[in-house]
Structure formats: C-alpha cells, structure tokens
Amino acid sequence: MRIRLLMAETTTKSAGMAQSSASAPFAWNPALEDLSDCPSILIVDDLEINRRLLKAMLKNTNYRFLEAKRAVDALQILEKERIDLVILDLVSPGMSGPEFCRQVKRNRKTQLVPVLMITSLHGVENEIQGIDSGADEFLTKPLHPALVRARIRAMLRNKAAVDSLEEAETILFALAQAVESRDHYTAGHCERLATYGVSVGNALGLSRKELVALHRGGYLHDIGKVAVPDRILHGTAKLTEPEWDIMKLHTIRGEEICRPMKSLAPVLPIIRSHHERWDGTGYPDGLAGENIPLSARILQVVDIYDALITARTYKPAMSHQEAIRIMKEEAARGWRDPELIALFASVSNDSWKEGIAEFASSEWSEVQAMRTSLENMKISLSH
Ligand SMILES: [Fe+2]
C-alpha cells in the first residue's frame, strides 16, 4: 500500500520534472553526454517502476545508471563493472537484501562499494538486520527525493575519499617494491618478510590488527631508503660516518612518508624502530629492551633471517640451521631479544611452514585488497 502511494506521489513529481525539462532550451540528454567518468550507480529492484522512480529522482545529476532485476544479476554486474554505489530493496526475490549485502561485503573486490538499502517495511528490526549485513545507509519509503539525492551525494563523496586513500596506499606499496628492487634484495624479500612476520606474530597470539601491521611492515619497513642516494645504497667501500648517518635516516624518512596515511599508523613503529638493538646500541632512538615495539623486534628478526638464508651479490645463502646459530650469537651479544630469538628458532620449523601455508590461503580483506591493487598496478604499468 505504501509502495503504491509512493509511486503515485513520485510519478506525479517526475512527470512534472519531465515536462519542465522537455520545455527547457537545453534539455538533459544522457545519450549526448559522456558518462564514463561519472559515478556509477547500480539500482537493484525487481520492479521496473521502482527503478524508474529512483532514476527520476536523480535526474539532472551526472550519474551513470545500471540496473538489475535480481540480486544475483547485480552480483555479476559488480564483478564486471566499476560501481560506486548500489541501491537495493531490502526485500528482493531469490536473494534477500541482507544476503546480497553480505556477499558484496565479503568479496574483496566489492567490499568498499557502499550499499544504500531501501525498504517499505517499518521497524527498527529491519533496519538493524540491514545494517548488520553490511548496508552502509538505510532509507525507508516513502522516499523524499531531496533526501535521496543528499544521501547519495554524501555516500559518493565518501566513496571518492576511500578510492583516493586506496590509491595512495597502493602507490606507497608500489614505491616499497621499487625500493626492494633498487636495494638488490633477492626478489620477493618484502613478501617473505610479511609472511614470516605474520607467522611469528601468530605464534605470539597477536591480534589481527597487529598481524596486518606486521604484514604491511614487511613491505614498508625500508621505504625510507627511497631518500638514500645510490652512491650510499650501492657503494662497495665501507660507509663513512656522514654516509652512515644518511643511511640511518631511512627509518625516520620512512615514518615521515607513511605518517599521513592514517591506516598505516600501526605500521609506523615498525618502520621507525626496526634497527633498534636490545642493548640500546641501535638507531634511530637508541631504545632498549621492551621499549622497542614488539612488532619492530619481530620484523627485525625475520629481516635478519631472510638476509642470512638468501644469496646476495656479496655472499652465498646460508642453511636454516646456520642462520639460527648466528641469530642466537647476536642475541648472546646483547643485540637481539633473546626470548624472541628462542621463539623464532622453535617456530621456524615444521609448524612455521604450516603457518605460512595457512597464511598464504588467508582471505584477509586488508591483505587481499593490497595484493589486488598491486597486481592491477603492475598490469597497467606493463601496458
Ligand atoms: Fe632498514
């Protein structure tokens, strides 16, 4: 009943709008306009009249509309098209609105697409059900056209901000990869560090947030080396004291590069403190013992391990046992956290490999999103 009322009300309004735009000297004609750069809105509703009404409310806006009668069709469109916003009815045939939302938010490719759920069912339970399933906003019929437009504008503004943050993060990870190849590390050094770091963090029962920071730290810890000149980074002679001071600055520069990205806040201690030593003789702050953030200590341990077990231009690869022996020596000398080295020695065997395999198949959205962005960037750079 309410739906019929809404349709009647809005049809009258949209008919009026159509009339006025038809009589206007420069009537809007979507066929004449290039909408490829405009935000794309996917409207999901089994009733054609409801889809038309929504489009009528959004007339005279620069949006590109795509439509789906069924939620399953909408999921297929989302796989193929760049969509900036989905509008869907809470009740839809075949798949409910909340189930559709859950699928969208579970998929790493679509999880950042905002969903506006519309319902004619009143009651806070429906709203809670919609929000619990991942819907970003909720509107109850009868819809007020001005409110619909304002809500959609706000959601698209947020989406644009999220897109630019994601792009900025991708650029940082790509920059970190460029540093990795410039530093003559064995290919995959950062990825191995990310994986090893998470395995050690898992053994220590760290939270998911801390594990994600360790994963990102694997890539970003040396990003500050972008500011170190080639003659210092690649010099064959022993570094002079002033050159060594510049090299040490990569920890501080790295932190400065990543600080503007709020999402990277948990990674900053890793970037800044991964060259501190347990006895306080490290850099840049001379922190000692447990004052060195645990995440930075973990990253340091796996960094040293990977450096030992892989071949470099100046040395062959060591065996796992030999690497562990050297790391224990360094702990005895006071440079490394002895408990952490002991833990590392105990987990970097069979269970270590299991941990890595488990992590490789992980569906963490943060990790998957970063991998997808990097893959996409590589593809676009190769064209
Ligand atoms: Fe470093």
Per-position b or e across 88-124, b if 16+ CB within 10 A of its CB: bbbebeebbbbebbbbbbeebebebbbbbbbbbeeee
Q: How far is the CA of 222 from the centre of ligand 1 (A)?
A: 5
In whole angstroms, give the CA distance from residue 243 to residue 266: 29
Q: How far is the CA of 209 from the centre of ligand 1 (A)?
A: 22
Cβ partners under 8 Å of residue 309, min gap 6:
317, 318, 319, 320, 323
The answer to whether 104 and 130 are in contact (CB under 8 A) is no
In whole angstroms, give the CA distance from residue 10 to residue 58: 12
**Quick check: helix, strand or coil at residue 238?**
coil
Q: How far is the CA of 341 from the centre of ligand 1 (A)?
A: 19
pLDDT at 57: 92
What domains appear along the chain, each with residue ranges and CATH number? Answer: 2-162 (3.40.50.2300), 183-382 (1.10.3210.10)
pLDDT at 369: 61
The answer to whether 68 and 43 are in contact (CB under 8 A) is yes
Half-sphere exposure of 292 (CA within 13 A, CB side): 31
Beta strands 137-140 and 40-44 are: unpaired
Structure tokens at 349: 């065997």
Residue given tokens 């510049």 in the structure block: 246
Q: Please indicate whether residue 262 is annotated as part of the active site.
A: no
Q: What is the DSSP string of 3-36?
A: HHHHHHHHHHHHHHHHHHHHHSTT---GGGS--T
What pTM value is reported for the model?
0.62
Nearest CA to 58 out of 39, 37, 75, 36 is that of: 39
Please report, in tens digits, the pLDDT of each residue of the chain (383 residues total): 333 333 333 333 333 333 333 333 333 444 445 556 789 999 999 999 999 999 999 988 889 999 999 999 999 999 888 899 999 988 777 888 889 999 998 887 788 899 999 887 767 777 777 777 788 988 888 889 999 999 999 999 988 878 877 777 777 777 887 777 776 666 678 888 888 898 889 889 898 889 889 988 998 999 999 888 888 887 777 888 999 999 999 999 999 988 888 888 999 999 999 999 999 999 999 999 999 999 999 999 999 999 898 887 777 888 888 999 999 999 999 999 999 999 999 888 655 555 554 555 455 555 666 666 666 555 555 54
- Alpha helix locations (H) across the chain? 2-23, 48-57, 71-80, 97-106, 124-132, 145-182, 189-203, 208-220, 230-233, 241-248, 250-258, 268-273, 294-309, 320-332, 338-347, 350-360, 365-382
Q: How far is the CA of 300 from the centre of ligand 1 (A)?
A: 8
Angstrom CA distances, 13 to 6, 19, 235, stand at 11, 10, 74
In whole angstroms, give the CA distance from residue 188 to residue 194: 10
pLDDT at 175: 80
Q: How far is the CA of 185 from the centre of ligand 1 (A)?
A: 12
pLDDT at 357: 47
Q: How far is the CA of 147 from the centre of ligand 1 (A)?
A: 52
Strand order through the sheet with 85-89: 64-68, 40-44, 85-89, 115-119, 137-140
Q: How far is the CA of 250 from the centre of ligand 1 (A)?
A: 7
The answer to whether 243 and 272 are in contact (CB under 8 A) is no
Given 59, 225, 328, 353, the catalytic residue: 225
The answer to whether 324 and 352 are in contact (CB under 8 A) is no
Q: How far is the CA of 22 from the centre of ligand 1 (A)?
A: 65
